[in-house]
Amino acid sequence: MINAKKFNLLEFLKKNSVPLLFLALGMLGWVASGQPIPMVIKELVDRLSRNLILVLSLIIPITAGMGLNFAMVIGAMAGQFGLIFIKAIGLGGVSGVALAAAFSIPFAILFGIGTGAIMNRAKGKEMITGLILGFFANGLYQMVLLAGIGTVIPLKNPEIVLKAGVGLKNSMDFSLINYVLDRLIPIKVQLGYLVLWIPLVPIILVGLLCWFIVFLQKTKLGQNFRAIGQDKHIAEVAGINVDRTRTIAMVLSTILASFGQIMFIQNIGKLQTYFSHEQVGLFSAAALLIGGATITKATIGNAITGTLLFHLLFIVSPLAGKNLFGDAQIGEYFRSFIAYGVIAVAIVLYAMKKSRAKSQQDSDDMAS
């Protein structure tokens, strides 16, 4: 009896070693930072509802065997097109958010199809291709917003257009949609000296999204994703249109990323026109991996725990760095090292496994 229980504990530790490691790290950081609990909880609740949709948008491509979709920054750009649109016409509130989401959908579909087509030409190198594609799209995005606005796209609103009449300003105020979803159903909790708003509507939306992802797994399409994720060739033989299915996965991921970015700005209330989307892929991928996901397997649970743990580290590391080393910069560099490092380790582990399987096969071929 006791033996069985001990075995389970070991199994649990082994299965969840990555999230547990980061939990320990986060806790140590929190102790070192000396930040009060209510403050940390408030920040965590804020950041969870702000980032979770973005992190969830990574799950579908992983199921389809395409790895971490670093091209999700393109989805974030589509979301920002929607946001710029509502800012230009000055529509705020819940209807503004809804319109921004609706406006971004055609862009997200188009970008998703494009991304899918490019990924299908670079099979086996989806992650690096997605990363470079994100950089490339960022160049096009900047070109459109710097040179296209005021010339091809007739936009005059002096609040967002640069003085010369061409190009968008660096940063835009989005107080017109700030917290409109978070505080649509106002629930306040007194946490010590702080007032915590429970973002009920975003929680419900995230819940619906999770249900959608789970539901999708059970449909024919979801089974096709999994079949392709396991083995593209067998899926092809089984009559699945691999390229088309992978493109659908990309389109879905891109749409979710655009919604995620709109939710993010809704909470932050400010858009850095040329930078807000840049780090989205890095932080979302790192969060998902810290939650225990791998390059080939990710669940909603991974996304939720990962977002919590990653942002716990984010909240505490500057102050922890300051208290431990006398320099807040060290904490900030440490957290960006964690973000890049966890992705690097995940990719190395995945590639080692793949390479070992391949060399095994090679030597079998040689022997036969």
Partner 1 sequence: MKNPLAPIGSLWRGTTERFGYPKVFITLFLVLLCVLAVIQGQSMPGFLKDTLTRLSMIGVLTLAMVPGIVSGIGLNFGVSIGILTGLLAGCIGVELGFTGVGGFFLTNLVAIPISTIVGLGYGWLLNRVKGDEMTVSTYVGFSMVSLMCIFWLILPFKSPIMIWAIGGKGLRNTIAIKDTFGQALDNFLHIDMFGLQMPLGSLIWLAILCFLMWVFLRSKAGVTMSAAGDNPRFARAIGINVNKQRLLGTTLSTVLGAIGILAYAHGFGFFQLYVGPLNMPFIPVAAVLIGGATMRRVTISHVISGTILMQALLIIALPVISKIVPDGAFSEVIRIIVSNGVILYALTRSGGGK
* Interacting residues with partner 1 (CB under 8 A): 118, 121-125, 127-129, 131-133, 135-136, 138-140, 142-143, 146-147, 164, 166-167, 232-233, 325, 327, 329-330, 333-334, 336-337, 339-341, 343-344, 347-348, 350-352, 354-355, 358-359, 362
8 Å CB contact between 342 and 328: no
What are the Cα distances from residue 118, in Å, to 13, 111, 125?
40, 11, 11
Task: Report, in Å, the least distance between residue 191 CB and partner 1.
Answer: 33
Q: Which lies closer to partner 1 via its Cβ, residue 257 or residue 282?
A: 282
Residue 91 or residue 161: which is nearer to partner 1 going by CB?
161
Tell the smallest beta-carbon distance from residue 232 to partner 1 (Å).
8
CB of 44 to partner 1, least distance (A): 23
Least separation in angstroms between CB 286 and partner 1: 11
- Residue of 262, 267, 273 lying closest to 79 (CA atoms): 262
Smallest separation (angstroms) from partner 1 to the CB of 222: 24
Q: Which residues pair with 270 in a beta bridge?
A: 173
Give me the residues paired with residue 232 across strands.
none
Distance CA 181, CA 263 (A): 8
Question: Tokens 């995620």 correspond to what residue?
Answer: 260
* CB closer to partner 1 out of 85 and 141: 141
**72/64 Cα distance (integer angstroms):** 15
CB of residue 348 vs partner 1: minimum separation in angstroms?
6
Comparison of 43 and 332: residue with beta carbon closer to partner 1: 332
Can you tell me the distance from the alpha carbon of 156 to that of 162, in angstroms, rounded to the nearest whole number?
A: 9
> Could you tell me if 33 and 323 are in contact, meaning their C-beta atoms sit under 8 angstroms apart?
yes
The SS3 call for residue 92 is coil
Three-class secondary structure of residue 168 per DSSP? strand
Q: Cα(267)–Cα(50) distance, rounded to whole angstroms? A: 6
User: 110 exposed, middle or buried (CB, 10 Å; 0-12, 13-18, 19+)?
Assistant: middle
Residue 242 and residue 253: Cα distance in Å, rounded? Answer: 17
Q: Are 44 and 312 in contact (CB under 8 A)?
A: yes
Report yes or no: 289 and 18 within 8 Å, Cβ to Cβ.
yes
Q: How far is the CB of 244 from partner 1 (least distance, A)?
A: 15
Q: Least distance (Å) from partner 1 to the CB of residue 118? A: 6
- The residue (of 132 and 176) whose beta carbon lies closer to partner 1 is 132
Q: Based on CB atoms, which residue is closest to partner 1, 38 or 150?
A: 150
Q: Which is nearer to partner 1, 297 or 354 (CB)?
A: 354
